[in-house]
Amino acid sequence: MTDAPPAAYVLGTVPGPRGDGGQVGVVALDRSGAQIDLIDLAEEALPEFVRDREGAAELARADAAGGARTDTSQPPRWILSDTPKWYPQLLAAGVGIERCHDLRLTHAILTRSELVTDPDPLRAATDWDAAPTGSEGEAQAAALFEVDSGRGYIRQVPHDLESALAEYDRQNAVLESASDPGRLRLLLAAESAGGLVAAEMRAAGVPWDEVEHDRILTDILGPRPIRDGKPAKMLALADRVREALEDPRANLDSPNRLLSSLRNAGINVASTSKWELAGVEHPAIAPLLEYKKMARLLSANGWHWLDEWVDQGRYRPVYVPGGVVTGRWAASGGGALQIPRQLRPALRADPGWRLVSADIAQLEPRALAAMSGDRAMAEAGLGRDLYSGLVDAGVVATRQEAKIAVLGAMYGSTTGEAGALVPRLRQNFPAAMHLVDTAAEVGRRGGVVSTWLGRTSPAPSEGWQRLQQAANRFDASGADEQRARRAAGDQGRFTRNFVVQGTAAEWALAWLADLRLRLARLPTIDDGGESRARPAAASGPVFSRRAHLVFFLHDEVIVHAPAEQADQAAEEIRAAAASAGRLLFGDAPVDFPLDLSIGERAIKE
């Protein structure tokens, strides 16, 4: 038995003294992963248990300040079946944790990663192929949706202690035999930290001005209608459309009936999409497009959304880390990834606080330059807008052309303006283009590709395989071959983008993981009694007195900070971005410049 405190704790449910629930089992592990203690707790005692262990590490860090970090100052790692199962109750009790290992998120990565030499033990544990606790809706893959007695439900991973220990052992064994365990461990640490950030942002909420939201809706749509009626400005636009179509019964909310009305008016379109309608000249089109824009706002973020998702000045969406196969986040509720720009003024800091907003310019092209080692592409964006750098280097004539060319290269566009511009990138940035071209070719052949840290793309579907097999039959028709080529091209475009988007997502996770720790170490606003800010009570007990993350979208973060700490929080955002670049890419000559602003509202000055 060692005097060093446990390095990790595995949490899991255990039967109560009468065989009922309400008990938590905690297994303490030493630095080698050996079990050194088993503690049974009542569920309500868990927050205090975690607080004591986190607090002991914090005190040890303070004692060791200025010296080498010791075993006693290293914070414990909490091994959780699924972060949304365990962390919200801790946050509600005022307890935050520094590090965790999320078994569900880790399982999803390891079962697919090319760096894992023998994933079979994990693939056999199908109970762990499940959705995050409490998640619903479109963010989850259809494969996770099961039917029980005619009623659908979302599967969850096991939360009992025995299952958690067995899964942790399987994951450790798989990692030990991986071809590059260092990269995978970095990815898993970042992914697990992302799970903590998602739970923390939901607990803290986005500061939201309900009065301003209502004002914006009223300005755009008209006053709030009674019950489920249409706002006045939408009704007026609908009348203009019907008049222009000479069809007083035209239904603008039914695509099929609207299409029929358009065709009866001589507007020969195949669909009612805005992209197709925008190319049509007719007096009905402009008001129709405006009506559709208003309808989207009303449906996605109208008054019903405000009633459901904003309470006591906080908007609390449900984030799903790793919800997209590339590692990008999804949202299971609240639409956090789709907040329209016109509603951004509704994001408003509490009195005495500020919102510090930062986003990275051209994150994905910069990630491509770093992972491919293309020095010319890195130089084009060093300390400046990368698209403007392409213009200055003489690759293209305008910034718009640069944007079209780069996006075309990453998404595999071969026609139109992008098709004409991409060859210039291939000539000027051969290493970067070789990386995405190679990934595309692997996809076209039915292979899989991996990100910088080892997240691997899903294999093509069985339907894709059948198309290729049909095209290779001796009696294959021209139509069979055409369908197979189209499917192969689509898969190639997917793998081409996967390596870039996925690596950019890894950089963003590293940014988030480092930033949350930097913010947690800033002084709380009551330190010394000199703060001008009042506690942000609606942010909850963990975050009411200190700067904290409240929003994340792919390449953007928003921090809610006491006004006197806003500049310091901005510096921590910058420092975390630089640290993420070094962590993933070492000394690669690529930077990740920030567009940063500080204000009461989350809008650029």
- pLDDT (tens digit per residue) in 28-55: 999 999 999 999 999 999 999 999 999 8
Classified by CATH at the fold level, domain 347-362+505-599 comes out as Alpha-Beta Plaits (3.30.70)
95-105 per-position pLDDT tens digit: 999 999 999 99
pLDDT digits (tens, 9 = 90+) for 223-236: 999 888 899 999 99
The helix/strand count (H/E) of the chain reads as 21, 16
Give me 252's structure tokens.
């603008």
Q: Number of C-alpha atoms within 13 angstroms, CB side, residue 555? A: 17
Report the candidate in 517, 554, 524 with the shortest Cα–Cα distance to residue 541: 524
- For residue 245, is pLDDT > 90? yes
Beta bridge partners of 601: 348
| pLDDT band for position 371 (cuts 50, 70, 90) | very high
Lowest mean pLDDT among 158-172, 410-424, 553-567, 569-583: 410-424
Q: How many CB atoms lie within 10 A of CB 400?
A: 12
Distances 324 to 44, 106, 202, 320, 555 between C-alpha atoms, Å: 34, 14, 19, 9, 15
What is residue 150's predicted lDDT score, i.e. its pLDDT?
A: 36
CATH says 210-309 is which class?
A: mainly alpha
Identify the CATH assignment for 363-500 out of 2.60.40, 3.30.160, 1.10.357, 1.10.150: 1.10.150
Note the pLDDT of residue 148.
Answer: 34
How far CA 146 is from CA of 134, 242, 506, in Å, comes to: 15, 44, 31
DSSP-derived secondary structure letter, 414 = -
Can you give the pLDDT at residue 16?
76
Q: Which helix (H) or strand (E) holds 79?
A: strand 77-80
Residues 6+ apart with CB under 8 A from 455: 109, 112, 113, 187, 326, 327, 502, 506
Instruction: Summarize pLDDT for 321-351 with one digit per residue, the tens.
Output: 999 999 999 988 888 888 888 999 999 999 9
In the chain the first and final C-alpha atoms are separated, in Å, by: 59
Percent of the chain with pLDDT over 70: 91
Write down the mean pLDDT value for the chain: 91
Whole-angstrom distance, CA of residue 350 vs CA of residue 96: 22
Q: Residue 523 in 3-state DSSP?
A: coil
Contact status, residue 372 vs residue 434, Cβ threshold 8 Å: yes
Give the pLDDT band (50/70/90) at residue 85.
very high
pLDDT at residue 57 in the model: 63
Q: For the chain, percent helix, then strand, then coil, each to nearest 5?
A: 50, 15, 35
Which of 405-411's residues contact partners 24+ apart within 8 Å by CB, and which partners?
406/362, 406/365, 409/433, 409/436, 410/364, 410/365, 410/368, 410/436, 410/496, 410/497, 410/500, 410/501, 411/493, 411/496, 411/497
Helix 161-176 to helix 181-204 angle (10° resolution) is 140
Res 66 pLDDT > 60: no
Tell me: pLDDT of 582 over 80. yes
Name the least confident of 501-515, 539-553, 590-604.
590-604
Tell me, what DSSP letter sits at residue 337? Answer: G
Mean pLDDT over 526-533 rounds to 62
Pull the structure tokens for residue 361. Answer: 């310019």
Determine which of 134-148, 193-207, 220-234, 548-562 has the lowest per-residue pLDDT on average: 134-148
Distances in whole angstroms, Cα of residue 481 to Cα of each of 315, 466, 487, 492, 568? 50, 12, 10, 16, 60
Length of the chain: 605
Domain ranges of the chain: 8-204, 210-309, 347-362+505-599, 363-500
Q: What is the pLDDT of residues 115-129, one digit of tens each?
A: 999 999 999 999 999
pLDDT score for 138: 36
What's the one-letter identity of residue 233?
K
Q: What is the mean pLDDT of residues 149-162?
A: 71
Q: Which of 412, 89, 431, 446 is nearest to 422 (CA)?
A: 412
Query: Would the CATH topology of 347-362+505-599 be identical to that of 363-500?
Result: no
What is the pLDDT at residue 63? 55
Q: Across-strand partners of 137? A: none
DSSP 11: E
